[in-house]
Amino acid sequence: MLDELIKLFGWSRATFFKWKREGRGIIKLIEKYFDEEMIHEFNTTGKIERLEKIKKKDNELQSMQRQIEDLAFSTALYKINHISSPKAQKILIKIIQKIATDPVEYLDIKIHLIDNLKAVETTLDGDTKLSSFVLQNISTVEVEALVKYHYRIEKIKSH
């Protein structure tokens, strides 16, 4: 691997061994995560195919995650828009936005939302409590999407 590294970085053998002795991070990184075949492939082709495939898959996964989040957000917003009480809608949105701007991360954001709703409990229609509605009708993924994209709620609601 030494010859491939010398070719890649334009180092002398002495520089490589000096940096290795000094424990420089670049040497540790290369020795830990790259093998000679990978360095050779990069020297020859300008890329490492295995890493290119991983990068492509990662981009695909991120795109799918964004699609899932968008769908969850839209679904949750649809459910909120169908709450019969405008007052309850406003309370729910206000608490979601408060949670979104809170710097603390919660293990279960849905439970945290429900706890906040219980503190200002509002009845929707008859005996249904807003916290019960959220517990039964809005999934954790939907709550996460509402919190993450809280800034989109009012813009979409106003249409």
Question: How many CB atoms neighbour CB 131 within 10 A?
Answer: 19
Whether residue 159 has pLDDT greater than 50: no
What are the structural domain ranges in the chain? 2-47, 56-157
C-alpha distance from residue 116 to each of 85, 92, 144 (Å): 18, 9, 15
pTM exceeds 0.75:
no
Asked if 131 and 92 touch (Cβ cutoff 8 Å), the reply is no
For 25, counting Cβ atoms within 10 Å of its Cβ (0-12 exposed, 13-18 middle, 19+ buried), the class is exposed
Question: Model confidence over 81-110: pLDDT tens digits?
Answer: 888 888 889 899 999 999 999 878 888 899
Question: Model confidence over 112-134: pLDDT tens digits?
Answer: 999 988 888 776 666 678 888 99
For 74, counting Cβ atoms within 10 Å of its Cβ (0-12 exposed, 13-18 middle, 19+ buried), the class is middle
Question: Model confidence over 4-14: pLDDT tens digits?
Answer: 999 999 999 99
**More confident position, 78 or 123:** 78
